[in-house]
Chain A
Amino acid sequence: ETGVTQSPTHLIKTRGQQVTLRCSSQSGHNTVSWYQQALGQGPQFIFQYYREEENGRGNFPPRFSGLQFPNYSSELNVNALELDDSALYLCASGLAGAAVNHEQYFGPGTRLTVT
């Protein structure tokens, strides 16, 4: 177990709705990244947060947004859901500092189905 938890485990939404996914980072970690994994594909980087600020974004539209809280928990918000947003959403936590640590540890994911 990595110590990274995500909620909910799975959910079903209707096209056009909004969704919020949650992640609790491993204790002591200060970065959180979100990834989208479509069926049969590798995870795709959405964005990363470090010290509560977005620190890099992948090729995802602005309707994908996030937050990182002082306790290093995080949220991923997706507005105006589309059918193609159906995927496994993963968060990964890591520790950044002067000696950069590139090890990232993933949670179990939230499976989102958009109908």
Chain B
Amino acid sequence: QKEVEQDPGPLSVPEGAIVSLNCTYSNSAFQYFMWYRQYSRKGPELLMYTYSSGNKEDGRFTAQVDKSSKYISLFIRDSQPSDSATYLCAIQRGSSYKLIFGSGTRLLVRP
């Protein structure tokens, strides 16, 4: 079983839609949760970083963590064509800097 599971997509939505991206993880020892955005042929860009269960909002982006279900989500409101990219979830133990990534979900926002 992989430590982090992520649906590869692709996920295609019309402009303005609310997008929901999700990951599940297997080990309750993980404490830190990140979302990265990666455009084609570029390095991952850190979008959101959360520690505890609950929601964290930054502009159009909301990260949600449910530690009891080992489930993390990223919501994008009012999606734009420029949001088209691969979204990677990453998890981390408290004592390690090692990031464990999901395989990424490819998102396409149609104009």
B46–A105 CB distance below 8 A: yes
A45–B98 CB distance below 8 A: yes
A55–B97 CB distance below 8 A: yes
Q: How many A-B residue pairs have CB under 8 A?
A: 67
A104–B43 CB distance below 8 A: no
How many chain B residues touch A (CB < 8 A): the figure is 26
Bound: A90/B44 CA distance, A: 9
For A50, list chain B residues within 8 Å (CB).
Answer: 97
A65-84 contacts to B (CB < 8 Å): none
- Given A40-B8, A90-B43: A104 touches B103 (CB 8 Å cut-off): no
How far in angstroms is the closest Cβ of chain A from B28? 17
- Given A106-B45, A108-B43: A56 touches B99 (CB 8 Å cut-off): no
Bound: A42/B4 CA distance, A: 10
B97–A2 CB distance below 8 A: no
- Given A40-B8, A42-B104: A104 touches B99 (CB 8 Å cut-off): yes
A96–B97 CB distance below 8 A: yes
Could you list some 22 contacts between A and B, CB below 8 A?
A2-B43, A31-B97, A33-B97, A40-B103, A42-B6, A42-B88, A42-B102, A42-B104, A43-B99, A45-B99, A50-B97, A56-B96, A56-B98, A90-B44, A100-B94, A103-B34, A103-B46, A104-B97, A106-B36, A106-B43, A106-B45, A108-B42
